[in-house]
Amino acid sequence: MNLTIASLKQAYQSGETTPQQLIHSLLEQAATLDSVWIHLLSAAEIQPYIDALADKPMADHPLWGVPFAIKDNIDLAGIPTTAGCLEFTYVPLKSAYVVEQLIAAGAIPLGKTNLDQFATGLVGTRSPFGATPNAFNPKYISGGSSSGSAVATAKGVVSFALGTDTAGSGRVPACFNNLVGLKATKGLLSTSGVVPACRSLDCVSVFALTAVDAKSVFAVAAEFDKLDCYSRQNPQSNIGQVAIPNSFTFAVPQPEQLAFFGDTYYQKAFTQSVELLEQMGGTKVELDFAPLLDAAKLLYEGPWVAERYVATKDIVDNNPAAMLDVIYQIISAGAELSAADTFSALYKLQAMKQITDELVAGVDVLVTPTAGTHYTIAEIMEQPIARNSNLGYYTNFMNLLDLAAVAVPTQFTDNNMPFGITIFSSAFSDQKLLTLAERIQQQAALPLGATEYQYQDEDNALANSAGNIDVLVCGAHLSGMVLNWQLTERGAWLTQTTTSAAKYRMYAVPGVVERPAMIRHDANGVAFEVQVWTMPVSEFGSFVEGIAQPLGIGKVELADGTWVTGFIAEGYAASIGKDISEFGSWRKYKAS
């Protein structure tokens, strides 16, 4: 079934299924997936989480009955954590802080997922538990290190999954499996109970079928953890919906800085993705990404490899045979780095960050391909280090420079494989990025992961139930029109552009600002261009207060037969206004 959070909530409320029935079915499906799970919970292990829902009213628990997966370097109480290495295995007494938040909100863990050993890799093949195949074509890599979490989500056996992202592990697998991948601002999702890779850079990431679902998970998970010395408070400006203008600027690398490693499919897909952003109202700006790309090299060519050594020192020094050869080769090099190397790199990084902050401040978002190419498993086996390094070209700099990022699918390539871009900006811009990712998904209208379900705007239903309201506008409040600011300043965002049912007449009413009065006429009505905007309920009262007669708020029928709260007018507007129905659009009337 469709496991988006809104769809699942509707299925529970209607009685179509129950958590008990759903989880039983999902466990059967999950067991058929190849090299996705390191520990799939048994029915007995999962039953306490289902039973606990009886004391958690659905209305008060935003993730009630929602199944999720956990990368196996993140603790789940009573279940072994391996980090992809059997000799490292331990059984935690308590869950990671972020897992505790999700379970408290009603989410149900389904199992622990496969990963590149010690979260070192972007390929999904560096595991003694087997290479995790891509959700669309098993010849291709799934991406790593959060391979199992991505494929479990794409295959529709969980609604979302937790990964980690130090160098791109929450974004590259999202790209390769047609998912949204949220790499939140460092510290907003606690790493208590997470096996460290680079402790100062590590982030818990979220894989989801939609940006709306990623928002819902983020809202629950982004809680300050006083026991995590890297935890950060989420500012009020990054809580709840954040508007992004309909006309926005986005920066891309200069042409000579784009790298596709000979992959013409991905090169073409990125060009088309840029065009999609321009169709949405974006203005492309080409900027010099040199400081970002130079910073990326520091992650594996600089002293941050020493952090990986610190995290695994006992095994590296005392039991190196427990590690995969490629992992040992990478991490053991960290033992040779000096304090002088570290400070030298920190100075270089600070200079790069200062330049980067200026670049980021000059545009609404920055955009790159999430990855420059998509390798087969055989190609990775031929050159495991060099080709893995290629996959980090657009990702390795992100945490070093303290940026927030969202990977979002935009299309399928000419060889029928997923492609996506990463949109990113400064720390604490997570909600802004998720809002834009939501709009990109609406525009692209791709399937959900590797499932049979199509993306639908109904995914916004969860947001509405959480305290927002849809408002239909037809005139001066349309995007780009004179009163649109009254929506955007209230944090409203564009949900849908469509037409009304062909049952209305429109009249231009004079005033300080000329306004349209839309009156229902079943006999000789026409359809009009309309937009549906979603705004916080807390802002709705002040918005309505500013509406002058003869306009008011009522219900308007859309072309598809649904009804939306929106602008209507009293009947006398026809006697004081000019009939402009022939235009079918306030925008066209004003242009005339």
* Interacting residues of 225 by C-beta distance below 8 A, sequence separation 6+: 97, 190, 192, 231
* pLDDT for position 462: 41
* pLDDT for position 241: 67
Tens-place pLDDT, residues 12-70: 999 999 999 999 999 999 999 999 999 999 999 999 999 999 999 998 999 999 999 99
With cut-offs at 50, 70 and 90, classify the pLDDT of residue 301. Answer: confident
Class of domain 467-591: alpha beta
Report pTM.
Answer: 0.79
User: Would you state the structure tokens that stand for residue 527, as one six-digit string?
Assistant: 């359809």
Q: Tell me yes or no: is domain 5-460 CATH 3.90.1300.10.
A: yes
With cut-offs at 50, 70 and 90, classify the pLDDT of residue 459. Answer: very low
Tens-place pLDDT, residues 327-353: 999 999 888 888 899 999 999 999 999
Is the pLDDT at 461 greater than 80, yes or no? no
**Strand-pair category, 529-536 with 493-499:** antiparallel
Is the pLDDT at 458 greater than 70, yes or no? no
Sign of CA dihedral 129, 372, 248, 166: positive
CATH 3.90.1300.10 positions along the chain are: 5-460
* pLDDT for position 162: 98
Tens-place pLDDT, residues 54-112: 999 998 999 999 999 999 999 999 999 999 999 999 999 999 999 999 999 999 999 99
* Interacting residues of 458 by C-beta distance below 8 A, sequence separation 6+: 6, 7
Q: Which residues carry out catalysis?
A: 71, 145, 169
Q: In a 10 Å sphere around its CB, with 0-12 CB exposed, 13-18 middle and 19+ buried, how is residue 318 labelled?
A: exposed
Sign of CA dihedral 74, 76, 77, 79: negative
Q: Which residue has the tokens 């098993």?
A: 138
Give the closest residue to 160 by CA, choosing from 71, 29, 231, 46.
71
CA distance 209 to 154: 7
* pLDDT for position 79: 98
Give the closest residue to 530 by CA, choosing from 455, 484, 475.
475
User: Would you state the structure tokens that stand for residue 279, as one six-digit string?
Assistant: 């169709």
Distance of CA 527 to the CA centre of its chain: 35
CA distance 224 to 187: 8
Averaged pLDDT, 395-418 = 97
Averaged pLDDT, 281-285 = 96
* pLDDT for position 19: 98
Give the closest residue to 371 by CA, choosing from 387, 385, 383, 384.
387
pLDDT mean across residues, the chain: 93
Helices and strands in the chain, H and E counts: 20, 19
Share of the chain above pLDDT 90, in %: 77
With cut-offs at 50, 70 and 90, classify the pLDDT of residue 218. Answer: very high
- Distances, alpha carbon 253 to alpha carbons 72, 82, 258, 469, in Å: 35, 39, 6, 38
Averaged pLDDT, 131-149 = 98
Share of the chain above pLDDT 70, in %: 98
* pLDDT for position 457: 58
CATH 3.10.490.10 positions along the chain are: 467-591
Averaged pLDDT, 488-496 = 85
Is the pLDDT at 181 greater than 80, yes or no? yes
